[in-house]
C-alpha cells in the first residue's frame, strides 16, 4: 500500500519541476523566455547525469556504506561511499530504485532554482557546467548529511538534539541549497544591464507573462503534494495514515502565503501584484515542506502567512538596498523561505509515536538541531557554491556578452526569438 502510494507520489514530482520552469519563464522578459525554458531542459539533463555519475556516490541512501570519523568519542558521518554510476545500487529492486528515482527528481528540482536568479544574463554552456557542480558536489553532500543518515540526521542519536535535523519535504536540502546557489550566481553574474540607473536606483523590468507565472503555481501545487508525500514516506518514514495531513498542510501553506503576499502588495503598491503573488505562493510551498507531515494545519497557515510576508519584502529590499538582481526571486523564495521553513519546523512540529518512537513536542534540542542545519547551509553550502562557481568563471565566463544581453539570449544564443511575431521596442535596446 505505502509502496504504491510512494510510487504515485514520486510520479507527481516532475510537475514541480515543470511548474518552476514555467514560473521562471513567465517572470523574465520576452526576449529571454525560450532561452530560460531551454536552460531548464538542459539543467534537468546535466543535473541527472552528474548526479548519477558521481553525486549519488557522496549522497547514498540511509544505512549504506559511509565515511565516518570519530570526534570526541562520537561518530560523524560525513559522506557516503557508493561506487560511481549507481553500480552499488539494486536499481531493479523496487525500494532502492524508487528512492534513487526520487533523488534524481529532487536534484533536477534543485537545479531549476538558480536559473531564476541568473536569468537573462547566464550563458547556456556555463549554466550547464555550474549545474554539474551543483548536482555532482554541493547538493549530494548536504543531502547525505540531512537525508542519507549523515551527521545532521544523527544529531538526535549522537548529541541528544531532539530527533536530529528534520527536513521531510526538502525546505533546506532542495530549496535552500538551490536558493543559496542562486545567491552565489547573482553575485558572480552581477545585475542585468540597465537594471540600475547611474545613481543606483533599480529600474522595473516587468515579467513578460503573468499567466505563465500563475499557471506555473498551479503546476507546482500538484507536484509539491507529490514531493512532500514522497518525502514523508521515503525520507521521513512517516506512517501512511498522515498523508492526508501532508496534502492539507501543503495546500494551506501555499494558499495562505499567496493571500498574504497579495495583501502586502495591495498595501504597498495599491493593487495586488501577480508576479510577486506567484513568488509568495512558491515561498509558502517551500516553507511548508520541512514539517509538512509533522505540524498541525493551523501551524501550516502561520508558516504560510509568514513566508508570504517575507517573500515580497525580501525581494524588494534585496533588489533596492543590496543590488541583488534576481529576476525569478530565487533567493527570497527558496533560500529565505527554506530557512524559515526549517526554523518553523523546530517551533511547530509534533512528533508522532508510530514514526519516531516517542511522542513529543519540539524542545530546545530540536530547535538547536534545526539551527545547526541552517548554520551549515550558510557556513558551508554558500561558501562552497560561491567558491566552485567563481573558479568555474575563471575558465568558462558565465555572463553573456553586453551585445547578447541587449539582443536577448533567445536570439543571441538560440538564433530565434520565443515570439517571432512580436514587435521589438527599440527603447529596450537603449543603454540607461
Q: Which range touches another protein (CB under 8 A), out of 238-246, 254-262, 272-280, 365-373? A: 365-373
How far apart, in whole angstroms, are the C-alpha atoms of residue 59 and residue 63?
Answer: 11
Residue list 311-350, contact with another protein (CB under 8 A): 321-324
Residue (215 or 367) nearer to another protein, CB: 367
Rule CB under 8 A: say whether 71 interacts with another protein: yes
**Closest separation in Å from C-beta 142 to another protein:** 12
Residue 287 in contact with residue 343, Cβ under 8 Å?
Answer: no
Q: Which range touches another protein (CB under 8 A), out of 42-50, 67-75, 279-287, 297-305? A: 67-75
Helix (H, G, I), strand (E, B) or coil at 360: strand
Using CB under 8 A, which of 91, 95, 211, 364 touches another protein? 364
**Closest separation in Å from C-beta 232 to another protein:** 27
Rule CB under 8 A: say whether 3 interacts with another protein: no
Rule CB under 8 A: say whether 137 interacts with another protein: no
Rule CB under 8 A: say whether 199 interacts with another protein: yes
Dihedral angle, C-alpha 96, 102, 107, 112, nearest 10 °: 170
Helix (H, G, I), strand (E, B) or coil at 70: strand
Using CB under 8 A, which of 268, 367, 407, 424 touches another protein? 367
- Count other Cβ atoms within 10 Å, centred on residue 248: 15
**Closest separation in Å from C-beta 331 to another protein:** 11
Residue 131 in contact with residue 43, Cβ under 8 Å?
Answer: yes
How far apart, in whole angstroms, are the C-alpha atoms of residue 44 and residue 102?
Answer: 13
Q: Phi, psi (5° rounding) for residue 67?
A: -90, 120
Using CB under 8 A, which of 78, 101, 187, 351 touches another protein? 187
- Count other Cβ atoms within 10 Å, centred on residue 133: 19
**Phi/psi class of residue 213: alpha, beta or left (left: φ > 0; alpha: ψ in -120 to 50)?**
alpha
Rule CB under 8 A: say whether 78 interacts with another protein: no
Residue 111 in contact with residue 134, Cβ under 8 Å?
Answer: yes
| Grid coordinates of 239 | 506512517
Using CB under 8 A, which of 23, 344, 382, 400 touches another protein? 382
Rule CB under 8 A: say whether 378 interacts with another protein: yes
Residue (179 or 216) nearer to another protein, CB: 179
Residue (84 or 375) nearer to another protein, CB: 375
Q: Which residue is it, cell 551585445? A: 403
**Closest separation in Å from C-beta 123 to another protein:** 16
Strand partners, 122: 399
What secondary structure does DSSP assign to 237-279, as a single string? ---GGGHHHHHHHHHHHHHHHHHHHHHHHHHHHSS--HHHHHH
**Closest separation in Å from C-beta 314 to another protein:** 12
Q: At what angle do helices 2-27 and 274-289 cross, to 10 degrees?
A: 150
**Closest separation in Å from C-beta 420 to another protein:** 27
Q: Which range touches another protein (CB under 8 A), out of 1-9, 103-111, 191-199, 408-416? A: 191-199
Rule CB under 8 A: say whether 215 interacts with another protein: no
Using CB under 8 A, which of 124, 372, 392, 414 touches another protein? 372
Separation of CA 154 from chain center:
23
Q: Which range touches another protein (CB under 8 A), out of 253-261, 263-271, 308-316, 363-371? A: 363-371
Helix (H, G, I), strand (E, B) or coil at 361: strand
Residues that bind another protein (CB under 8 A): 71-72, 74, 155, 159, 161, 187, 190-200, 321-324, 364-365, 367-368, 371-372, 374-376, 378-380, 382-383, 386-387, 402
Amino acid at each position: 500500500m505505502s509502496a504504491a502510494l510512494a510510487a504515485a507520489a514520486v510520479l507527481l514530482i516532475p510537475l514541480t519541476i515543470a511548474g518552476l520552469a514555467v514560473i521562471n519563464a513567465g517572470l523574465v522578459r520576452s526576449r529571454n523566455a525560450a532561452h530560460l525554458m531551454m536552460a531548464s531542459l538542459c539543467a534537468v539533463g546535466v543535473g541527472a547525469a552528474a548526479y548519477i555519475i558521481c553525486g549519488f556516490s557522496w549522497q547514498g541512501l540511509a544505512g549504506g556504506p559511509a565515511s565516518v570519523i570519530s570526534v570526541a568519542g562520537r561518530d560523524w558521518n560525513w559522506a557516503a561511499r557508493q561506487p560511481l554510476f549507481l553500480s552499488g545500487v539494486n536499481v531493479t529492486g523496487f525500494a532502492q530504485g524508487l528512492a534513487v528515482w526520487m533523488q534524481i527528481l529532487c536534484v533536477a528540482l534543485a537545479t531549476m532554482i538558480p536559473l531564476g536568479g541568473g536569468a537573462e544574463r547566464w550563458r547556456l554552456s556555463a549554466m550547464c557546467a555550474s549545474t554539474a557542480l551543483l548536482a555532482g558536489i554541493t547538493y549530494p553532500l548536504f543531502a547525505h548529511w540531512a537525508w542519507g543518515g549523515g551527521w545532521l540526521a544523527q544529531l538526535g542519536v549522537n548529541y541528544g538534539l531532539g530527533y536530529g535535523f528534520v527536513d521531510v519535504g526538502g525546505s533546506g536540502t532542495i530549496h535552500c541549497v538551490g536558493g543559496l546557489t542562486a545567491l552565489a550566481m547573482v553575485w558572480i553574474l552581477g545585475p542585468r544591464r540597465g537594471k540600475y540607473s547611474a545613481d543606483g536606483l533599480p529600474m522595473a523590468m516587468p515579467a513578460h507573462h503573468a499567466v505563465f507565472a500563475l499557471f506555473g503555481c498551479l503546476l507546482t501545487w500538484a507536484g509539491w503534494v507529490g514531493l512532500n508525500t514522497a518525502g514523508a514516506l521515503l525520507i521521513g518514514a512517516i506512517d501512511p495514515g498522515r498523508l492526508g495531513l501532508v496534502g492539507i498542510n501543503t495546500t494551506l501553506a501555499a494558499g495562505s502565503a499567496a493571500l498574504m503576499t497579495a495583501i502586502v502588495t495591495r498595501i504597498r503598491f495599491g493593487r495586488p501584484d501577480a508576479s510577486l503573488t506567484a513568488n509568495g505562493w512558491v515561498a509558502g510551498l517551500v516553507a511548508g515542506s520541512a514539517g509538512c507531515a509533522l505540524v498541525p494545519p493551523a501551524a501550516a497557515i502561520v508558516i504560510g502567512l509568514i513566508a508570504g510576508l517575507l517573500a515580497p519584502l525580501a525581494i524588494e529590499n534585496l533588489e533596492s538596498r543590496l543590488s541583488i538582481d534576481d529576476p525569478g526571486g530565487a533567493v527570497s523564495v527558496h533560500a529565505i523561505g527554506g530557512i524559515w521553513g526549517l526554523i518553523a519546523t523546530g517551533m511547530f512540529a509534533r512528533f508522532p509515536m508510530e514514526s519516531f518512537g516517542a511522542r513529543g513536542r519540539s524542545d530546545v534540542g530540536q530547535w538547536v538541531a534545526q539551527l545547526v542545519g541552517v548554520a551549515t547551509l550558510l557556513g558551508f553550502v554558500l561558501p562552497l557554491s560561491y567558491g566552485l562557481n567563481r573558479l568555474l568563471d575563471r575558465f568558462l565566463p558565465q555572463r553573456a556578452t553586453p551585445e547578447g544581453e541587449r539582443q536577448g539570449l533567445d536570439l543571441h544564443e538560440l538564433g530565434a526569438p520565443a515570439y517571432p511575431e512580436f514587435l521589438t521596442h527599440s527603447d529596450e535596446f537603449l543603454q540607461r
